[in-house]
């Protein structure tokens, strides 16, 4: 595996970021039409930088091959009103799957939890990613309010 660098994303990365997201979404186990119709809701734009923190992974040629984004979670969504970062997603270019890139991006989110003294990290995962987040020590949160809680919510305490 070549050297992978994780750094803060910039607006100049948006084209590459959205290219990675599109490639990743198109691998999901969903009907093609659903993927195409929902893709626009996963893309980021320059205004997302106002409320999201984003990092990218780049290969030794400085090509963006992964992205993660997060923001402070609403305490109505977290366990017992704890403070948390909400991980919006980790996307890795499919040609770079199973090389530890997603884990590096996850570690960057964990570092942000620590740096900002949050109680934990929460993610609302796509069904296909449940195993990935469980393998990172996250636990599935129960759906206590079906009108508010996403079915595939996962939590990892800062002290884990």
Is 152 a member of any domain?
Answer: no
For 49-77, how does the pLDDT look when each residue is reduced to its tens digit (9 = 90+)?
Answer: 999 999 999 999 999 999 999 999 999 88
Provide the mean pLDDT of the chain.
93
Q: Compute the distance between CA of residue 98 and CA of residue 114 in angstroms, rounded to an integer.
A: 26
Is 106 a member of any domain?
Answer: yes
Domain that holds residue 51: 5-119
Is 84 a member of any domain?
Answer: yes
Is the CB of residue 69 less than 8 Å from the CB of residue 88?
yes
Please report, for residues 21, 97, 108, the alpha-carbon distance to residue 138 in angstroms, rounded to integers and kept in the order given: 23, 20, 15
Q: Compute the distance between CA of residue 85 and CA of residue 96 in angstroms, rounded to an integer.
A: 26
Residue 1 has pLDDT above 60, yes or no: no
In the chain, which ranges are E strands? Answer: 5-8, 53-58, 64-72, 84-92, 120-124, 139-140, 153-157
Is 153 a member of any domain?
Answer: no
**Number of structural domains in the chain:** 1
For 129-155, how does the pLDDT look when each residue is reduced to its tens digit (9 = 90+)?
Answer: 999 999 999 999 988 888 777 888 999
3-state SS track over 103-124: HHHHHHHHHHHHHCCCCEEEEE
Q: Please, which pLDDT band fits residue 38 given cuts at 50, 70 and 90?
A: confident
What pLDDT does residue 2 have? 62
Q: Tokens representing 55?
A: 């990092």
Helix (H) or strand (E) holding 131: helix 130-135
| Its pTM surpasses 0.85 | yes
| CATH at residue 15 | 3.40.630.30
């Amino acid at each position: 595996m070549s050297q992978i660098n994780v750094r803060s994303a910039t607006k100049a990365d948006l084209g590459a970021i959205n290219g990675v997201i599109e490639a990743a979404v198109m691998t999901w186990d969903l009907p093609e039409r659903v993927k195409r119709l929902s893709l626009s809701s996963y893309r980021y734009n320059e205004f997302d930088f106002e409320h999201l923190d984003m990092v990218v992974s780049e290969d030794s040629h400085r090509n963006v091959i992964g992205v993660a984004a997060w923001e402070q979670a609403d305490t109505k969504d977290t366990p017992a009103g704890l403070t948390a970062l909400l991980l919006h997603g980790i996307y890795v270019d499919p040609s770079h799957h199973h090389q530890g890139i997603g884990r590096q991006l996850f570690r960057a989110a964990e570092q942000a939890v620590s740096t900002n003294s949050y109680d934990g990290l929460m993610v609302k995962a796509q069904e296909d990613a449940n195993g990935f987040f469980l393998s990172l020590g996250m636990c599935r949160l129960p759906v206590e309010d079906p009108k508010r809680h996403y079915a595939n919510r996962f939590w990892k305490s800062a002290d884990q």
